[in-house]
Amino acid sequence: MPHRPLSLEHFRQRLAHADALPQLVILGILAGLAAGGLISLFRSADTLLQAWLLPGGAERFEELDDIHRLLLPLGGSLLLILLFAVVPAHARAVGIVHMLERLTNYEGRLPIFNLFIQGLAALIALASGHSVGREGPAVHLGAGAGSLLGQRLYLPNNSMRVLVGCGAAAGIAATFNTPLAAVIFSMEVVLLEYTLIGFLPVMVAALVGDIVSRALVGEALVFTAPNLSIEELTQLPLIAVLGLVCGLLATGFHLLQMQVLKLKHWPFPVRFLLAGLLTGIVALQWPEVMGGGYDTIESLFTEPEPILFLAGLLLAKCLLTPIVIGLGIPAGLIGPTLFIGVVAGALLGAIGSLITDTPHTGLYAMLGMGAMMAALLNAPLAALLAMLELTQNTSIILPGMLAILVANLTTRFGFGLPSIFHASLQHQGLDLRQAPLAQILSRAAVGSLMQRDFSPTPSQLSLSEARLLLEAAPHWLLVNTDSRPVLMPPADLRQHLEGLPEDADDSTPIDLLSLPAQRSDIEPLLYRATLKEALDQMQQKQLNYLLVVSNRDEPLGLISRQQIEEYYNRKQTLS
């Protein structure tokens, strides 16, 4: 392994501590640069591919004739089948759910090959008109950029979690140019906590990611929306009804996708072909369901559509998207979620205009966008900020809060549903929820507590070597054996030496393993491990001490169960 500069070693050691805010902010900047560059490449490839395939340019699937609407999704499914057929099964796991699973079980270490497959597969799915969005792949790509940065620098595992959150936020910001919503999304959905130590690095990563994407490929998805607002408070009941409708639609979406996920045992060629066929058939009547539908979203902000058309489009998108995603098409659901909310809002606004003097239906379309996102993702604040940043309309904050509140209450407490991402993980038998003990111990690495006051020694040594060893006054003796090292208190060796005759020869042999002593078994633990990993290993192996080692198995320090318990109690007291 190549020699690393002392400055990097010091940087890595500081990151082991839970309060390494300056170092984490630096990592946030680096993650923002990496994620912003990667997402800019992804966005450019997506735009160029769609411009080449579609006669009217990106997202203009409506201009395709019937035969191409039917065949394009099928062709995309065939390409996805070919791609997945040549890669190993473990590399096919992609998307936000995969990222959350790696964050929970593998300390945020995302494989680079899965990242490559995600980008390529998402480009195929988006260009072929599947009812999916590019936001899920962007989150995976951004989080992967942050994770690879941490892996390349051999950073402690406690900082890997923050790096994944930084990359995810930068990925969303670079895709939507919505840095504030990206920060909150990362905290609400990815990290599942609001802490200062995590908030600031994620914020700087989102900022840098947004700047990089604007500089490289220009402004992304900010809709041209009219500056609409509620004119009278009497509109609030209809807005509450919109929240209820979006909550019910999100519940139906959620339950349908969970049912389709039960078909995971089907071979992926069958699932992909079925998804392509269903998309093509639905697109014959409603071509707007193809792709992310951002052009349709923007048009509904400004132009009302017939009620029957909106009802049919809403039903088609609500049924098609969870089926396609549940069948495994490797792209995102956030874009389609916004689409469903916009259509639902426009439909309710159009119906309301028949009953009362309802103002422009575009207002309800904007509100539905945020309400649907909040209900399905269980991320109310991120949805409110996304709605605000995408429309650049501050007048919708008050009604938006009401719609989001009702929608989120409907799914979360009315039906007891978690985020669609977390439900997908639970379907796999995984749970992201951490006990308070695990949360606190995951924020620091073993390097923040380990004791360095120990002396390695062979088990066989002479009397003079033993005296020299005690002169260093170590706290522990690390006795090397043929199997694994053991810990021994220096006091036991000192007591043995005091019992020897005063005229004992300096060459008198001493066997540390045969002396009466309180020896403790010990296992190695990589320096990158968190305190939670250390405690888990101690409980599994029934040990009280672990030996912290480098990548080259060099002893670096010792950590004890008592130190971890004292650290937890101290943090609990401070909180």
CA 524 to mean position of chain CA atoms:
29
pLDDT, greater one: 459 or 404:
404
pTM: 0.86
pLDDT, greater one: 30 or 135:
30
Note the pLDDT of residue 505.
Answer: 78
Residue 211's identity, in one-letter code, is I
- Please give the domain boundaries of the chain with CATH numbers for all domains: 6-223 (1.10.3080.10), 233-427 (1.10.3080.10), 445-574 (3.10.580.10)
pLDDT at 435 exceeding the cut of 80: no
Note the pLDDT of residue 222.
Answer: 60
Residue that is written with structure tokens 């904007």 in the block: 366
Note the pLDDT of residue 358.
Answer: 60
Residue 433: pLDDT band (50, 70, 90) is: low
Give residue-wise pLDDT tens across range 211-230.
Answer: 999 999 888 766 777 777 78
Give residue-wise pLDDT tens across range 38-79.
Answer: 999 999 999 899 989 888 777 788 888 999 999 999 999 999
Report yes or no: 535 and 501 within 8 Å, Cβ to Cβ. no
Most confident listed range (336-340, 426-430, 520-524): 336-340
* DSSP letter, residue 265: G
Among candidates 180, 145, 173, which has minimal Cα distance to 35? 145
Among candidates 289, 290, 345, which has minimal Cα distance to 312? 289
Note the pLDDT of residue 268.
Answer: 94
CA-based angle 367:371:374, to the nearest 5?
A: 145
Q: At what angle do helices 561-574 and 531-541 cross, to 10 degrees?
A: 140
- At 481, phi and psi to the nearest 5? -125, 180
Mode of pairing for the β-strands spanning 545-549 and 460-462: unpaired
CA 368 to mean position of chain CA atoms:
25
